[in-house]
Amino acid sequence: MAIHILHCPSGKFAFVGNVPFELAFDAKGIDASEARACMSQTIAAKLAARRGGYLKTRVFDTREAAAEFAAAHGFAIERAQ
């Protein structure tokens, strides 16, 4: 499973690649299987909102913060060659 950190145009950092749900999203009111069943992040976010929750893409202020978050959840980040 290759996970990389992308420097987004917004200046934030996010995960790309084969990213597990718990790293990709900050979620309340919806779980990974429900989000996959929606087949769209927008639809999944609307479902979570109807339940009083949310679904947001995780972003970080620094590359190091993203890497530390991944490591804390048991995932290794691939380094660019």
Confidence label for 21 from pLDDT (cuts 50, 70 and 90): very high
Q: Please list, residue by residue across 23-60, b when 16 or more beta carbons sit within 10 angstroms of its beta carbon and e when fewer do.
A: bbbebebbeeeebeebeeeeebbebbeeeeeebeebbb
In a domain, 66, yes or no: yes
Tell me the per-residue pLDDT of 29-71, one tens digit each, with 9 for 90 and over. 999 999 889 888 899 999 999 999 999 999 999 999 999 999 9
Structural domain includes residue 80: no
Per the domain annotation, does 79 fall within a domain? no
Question: How many domains does the chain fold into?
Answer: 1
The answer to whether residue 77 is domain-embedded is no
The pTM score is 0.80
Look at residue 81 and tell me if it is in a domain.
no
Q: Note down the domain range covering 40.
A: 3-72
pLDDT at position 63: 94
